[in-house]
Amino acid sequence: MNSAQGGQPDMPANLPVMSPPDKRARELLSQGRWRKARDEIKLLCKQDRAKYLPLLIQANVGLARDMLAKGQVSEATQVVAYLRTIAPPGDLKALEFELMGKSGDLSGQAAGLIECLADLTPSCSQIEKRRLVDQLMLTFQPVPPAAGSAAAPTAEYGAVQQAIQALAEGQTARVTELLRPLPHRSVFSHWKLFLRGLAAFHSGDFEKATRFFAELPADSILAHARRPYLIWMDQEKAKGQGSIPSELIVEALCHLAGAPQASRPLF
């Protein structure tokens, strides 16, 4: 029945129908059940490799990161080795640097990460960009001035480093000044927000600090790092959305209270 006859509009004849295995595989991906998703997608790849290969890559990347989070570096290394046989090299840069970092090898990473940031493809997601930046910040290695496409990320990285140093020295007023040259769309924008939030917090401007922290992307590591400050400012309850603060958060709160040793009896 069509809409002219008073019924529901006809569905497009070419609307793709998702098969049960396809639907199940995508649900497993959305749930972060990487290993089960990978097994399901491998079977689907036998039917249509071109269609399901991106999903297979996604499942393996998720699995590798899950392993790294659990400290299973050897297992993650094996997954990354497999990924190199099925994924475009550029798509694995962030993951490979994360693996190197978990292996304790940070030597020379900064220059390589700057190079990656300078050569980002339009298809690179915001999440992957932030992962590269966060890995670069973890190295905190000095990088000499650069030319060409690497000039901008090198200069911005240097500005963030200087802002962190100024904050550590209690020069909160300089933080905003040092970060001002960073453009709004900088790949370091989440670090700019976080550091401005910290500067406002340590200056006693809790309203401004809360505003900066609220703008942080929820999927970034800095969104987790802001929690002790939000709890301290009474902007988030101690249990925060039903979850008990981790030992690290409690330790951070004790540091803010000037009693770092108090965290041990609490766990």
Q: Is residue 228, in this structure, part of any structural domain at all?
A: no
* pLDDT the model gives residue 118: 85
* Mean pLDDT (whole number) for 152-161: 94
Chain Cα centroid distance, residue 247? 21
- Is residue 258 scored above 90 in pLDDT? no
Residue 250 near residue 266, CB atoms below 8 Å = yes
Domain-embedded: residue 66: yes
The continuous run of DSSP H or E covering 222 comes out as: helix 221-225
Amino acid at 18: M
Higher pLDDT, residue 53 or 144: 53
pLDDT value of position 242: 45
Per-residue pLDDT at 12 exceeds 70: no
25 located within any domain: yes
Q: What is the DSSP string of 69-85?
A: HTT-HHHHHHHHHHHTT
Tell me if 235 is assigned to some domain: no
pLDDT at 106 over 70: no
Q: For residue range 174-205, what is the model confidence (pLDDT) as tens digits?
A: 999 999 999 988 999 999 999 999 999 999 99
Let me know if residue 51 belongs to a domain: yes
- Count: domains in the chain: 1
Note the pLDDT tens digit of each residue in 218-251: 888 898 889 888 988 887 654 444 455 556 555 6
Cβ proximity of 212 and 196 under 8 Å: yes
Residue 237 lies in a domain: no
DSSP at 155: H
**Separation in Å, CA 13 to CA 5, 18, 23:** 18, 14, 20
- Classify burial at 225, counting beta carbons within 10 Å of its beta carbon; exposed 0-12, middle 13-18, buried 19 or more: middle
The verdict on residue 47 lying in a domain is yes
* Residue 43 in domain: yes
pTM: 0.67
- The answer to whether 69 touches 98, Cβ cutoff 8 Å, is no
Exposure string (b/e) for 181-193, b if CB count within 10 Å is 16 or more?
ebeeebbbbbbbb
Quick one: average pLDDT of 215-219? 90
pLDDT the model gives residue 90: 72
Domain range for residue 69? 20-73
